[in-house]
Amino acid sequence: MAAVVDLSRITFIVMREMRSPLIALLLVYSFSILGMVFIPGIKVEGETQYMSIFHAFYFMTYTATTTGFGEYPLVFSNAQRFWAIICLYASVVTWFYAVGSIVRLLQNPFFVRALSEWKFSRHVQRIQAPFVIICGFGDTGSVLTRGLSDYGMRAVIIDSDEERIKALQLRNYTVAMQGFCGDASVPKHLLEGGLRRTNCKAVIATTNSEEVNLKISALARLLNPKVGIISMSKVEVFEETLATLGGEVHVVDPFKTFAKVLAASMQNPGFYSFNNWLVRDRGASLERYITPPKGKWVICGYGRMGHEVNWVLNKYKIKTVVIDPHEPNKNDYVDKYIVGRTTAITLARAGIEDAAGILSGTNDDGHNLGILLNARYFNTKLFTIVRQNRHENEVAFRETKVDMIMQPTLVAARKILFILIAPLLKSFFRYLLDDKPGRKEEMEMVINRLREKVGDQVPHLVTIDFTRDKSKAVIDELDAGEVILLGDLTKDPRDRQRKLDLVVFVIKSGEMEIVLPPTNYEIQENDQLLFCGTSLAHRLFNATINSEYKLFYVQKGVYKPRSHLAKWVVKKMNKVGV
């Protein structure tokens, strides 16, 4: 519907701008052709010759191209030549007028925008694979789009900054990403982006405005009640409103997300490295664990991030000293609060010399780096966490060699990526981080298995849906009454004595979720499986669940006959008991 509306707008603008030039051309050519038809030509055998309408039209056509084939079909009379001179000058002037109108049309901003919208809508209509709509192509949207590209998921991007959309078109993504410059909070643009299409899986609001993100989320819910909504928010009042929209709604708060990761790292030393390794963070390794200390902490900057980190530290009964220019809230529990900017003097007053850790968490990157350098001057053994607000400052922050870098846009993008490609990962993390005995040992076991299976290769988080269109061979076998074990599916279809390089995290069957399922688990239709492995393991696993011959081999240990003759021979041998 949107494509039709945009096409009608284009047609209207073209007709409005080109109406006068077209009428002028039509009149000039009509009078010219009529004149050539009625003006007498030369006499042949005593009979005056007249041009036909077709010959007159042909003459005017080739003269318009400045080709000049000559006088046709007969030599002109002087009267015809005089009329031809008038027609040529008139047509040239009219064509100049028409060409000028075409140039003005192509420069008309309304025409350019309508044409751009129409092309964008047409491209979106051609998308057959599942896709998401990303509203906002800033740091978060850019990082998220790159992650989706790495996992082969398509996205439609809407952003109000034309330069960002131009930058999108220059990126070397593995799958096509459609972009459009427009206001994503306008319903028409969401519809043009494919909001009501059945293969639109989610609308992701990652703009820099809390109000715009809320508006986009509300519009998406109204226009398509079934679509998933993921919205980035850093303000509690907006988060509360988003949570009441109904349906599948995910509110991503980067500060709360980081605080949870920090808390998990204090509970389980391997979690931070494991989490960063899964998201392919630069320099992440399963060999190096990061354990935040539990001594006194100095928090520089008591905004949203400072509040969340202070809450985590209080949970573990760790003393905190806050330095911030604003007066403290009465409800916040802080051992010591210093009002003022973070300087060498205020750091000394906070007792930085005997502190175990420091958080440099203001909204100014230069100030955060300065705080870090001052703190290290007093105490070189500090555990350091720094907030990086702008992605382009990454090089400078990497050089500081801090223990943890918190970049809100990057944290949010990774959280959204996990929601899209690995929704079961939340259950997996919840299981490993609860307070039950043995969880640290289980996480260590998982990390060791990943070291063995994946090693230095790029990890791939893969979600498998055992449905008819995504796991045809498995569903066909289940329909035939066969039992399919998880352990068989994880065998190498090239050599069933070897296991694929992957680790199964979770299986969801109905409402039941099984973390680290056993190999004798029986696969059911509509089960959902999450594993982490290599790219090759993913391809081989996918080949097994969609090929009856590979599935037969990993189950039985023999190759299923393919030809009619081979099937007949096997059938006969089974009858005689061979």
Quote the mean pLDDT of the chain. 87
For the segment 299-328, what is each residue's pLDDT rounded down to a tens digit?
999 988 999 999 999 888 899 999 999 888
For the segment 359-370, what is each residue's pLDDT rounded down to a tens digit?
999 989 999 999
Nearest to 162 by CA among 127, 200, 113: 113
What pLDDT sits at residue 3?
A: 46
pLDDT at 572 over 60: no
pLDDT band at residue 354, thresholds of 50, 70 and 90? Answer: very high
What pLDDT sits at residue 578?
A: 47
The CA distance from 58 to 54, in Å, is: 6
pLDDT at 575 over 60: no
| Weakest-pLDDT range from 114-123, 144-153, 545-554 | 114-123
Question: Which domains does the chain carry?
Answer: 2-110 (1.10.287), 127-252 (3.40.50.720), 256-419 (3.40.50.720), 432-571 (3.30.70.1450)
For the segment 14-60, what is each residue's pLDDT rounded down to a tens digit?
777 788 888 999 999 999 999 999 999 888 888 888 999 999 999 88
pLDDT at 557 over 90: no
The CA distance from 364 to 303, in Å, is: 12
pLDDT at 69 over 90: no
The CA distance from 212 to 231, in Å, is: 10
pLDDT at 569 over 60: no
The CA distance from 272 to 152, in Å, is: 26
pLDDT at 166 over 60: yes
Mean pLDDT to the nearest integer, 206-220: 90
For the segment 382-428, what is each residue's pLDDT rounded down to a tens digit?
999 999 988 888 888 888 888 898 999 889 999 999 999 999 999 99
What pLDDT sits at residue 564?
A: 55
Highest mean pLDDT among 85-89, 103-107, 287-291, 564-568: 85-89
CA distances from 378 to 213, 314, 338, 362, 397 (A): 42, 25, 18, 20, 20
109 vs 173, more confident = 173
Mean pLDDT to the nearest integer, 249-272: 88
Residue 247 makes CB contacts below 8 A (sequence gap 6+) with 221, 225, 226, 227, 228, 229
**Percentage of the chain surpassing pLDDT 70?**
95
What pLDDT sits at residue 401?
A: 85
The CA distance from 548 to 555, in Å, is: 10
